[in-house]
Amino acid sequence: MPADEGERLFLRGVEEMMESCYSRSACKSTYFLDERQRLLCAPMLVAHTEVEHRFFGGHPECRRAVLAISGGPPIGEGCFPIRPLRFLYRKQDVLTHRDFLGALLSLEIERRLVGDIFVGEGEAVAFLHQNAAPLALEIKKVGRVGVRVEEGGLDRVPPQRFEEIGGTVASLRLDGVLGVLLRQSRGRCTQLVQAGQVQLNHREVLSPSEPLEEGDVLSVREAGRFVLTAVGGPTKKGRLGITAQKYL
């Protein structure tokens, strides 16, 4: 269910796009959608069997994706205005997803024009909307690191990297688990949740006492994305051991 007026407007736009594609027997595409938007529109897309739809982000591992809808011709790769770019730099320099995203947004490239960014040692591959690619090709530095940008990158997409985080909690309350993941006090984590800066499984959550379970995905604004990968049995002191992965 849509949580606010912005999400309702988004769904209305997808519905209008379906109607247009059906009436004109045409194929149209969106900008990049995040996982929340994909979840929101999926039931409506499945229900409208008169049109074909497909999500694609440029690579099978992409989480952000462009939605293509067709009321006539089969959906092919030409329906997705996505261009992969490879960033090359010295292996001894350390750059993160946040560094590359910041470099792109600093050029006033809209977030919806940026898909997934895969960062490895000495290289990264970013999937961009075709409208943003020409500007991104002009990037010479990411942070303080010199880079060279070239077209392509599908032949060598770096694997997703993770940092493993472990600790113990009194319970699986959201604020307690966040305290371990962010290395922050429980009070600070409560503030982050109540300020709307935390998403649980791609939806905003405002209750610090929200219970978590193994496999849950947490996104914290300006802190990153985490997956709760394991919950262990109680320790001698009655606390629960947890393990999580942070996307790098």
Task: Tell me the domain boundaries of the chain.
Answer: 5-79, 82-156, 162-247
**What is the tens place of the pLDDT at every residue in 83-103?**
999 999 999 999 999 999 999
Q: Which two tokens stand for residue 198?
A: 């935390």
d(CA 36, CA 2): 10
Identify the CATH assignment for 82-156 out of 3.40.190.10, 3.30.70.330, 2.60.40.10, 3.40.50.2300: 3.30.70.330
**What is the tens place of the pLDDT at every residue in 104-151?**
999 999 999 999 999 999 999 999 999 999 999 999 999 999 999 999
Residue pair 184/174 in contact (Cβ under 8 Å)? The answer is: no
Q: What's this model's pTM, rounded to 2 decimal places? A: 0.84
CATH node for 162-247: 3.10.290.10
Identify the CATH assignment for 5-79 out of 3.30.70.260, 3.40.50.300, 3.20.20.105, 3.30.1370.160: 3.30.1370.160
Q: What is the pLDDT of residue 222?
A: 85
141-142 and 123-129 strand pairing: unpaired
d(CA 144, CA 33): 30
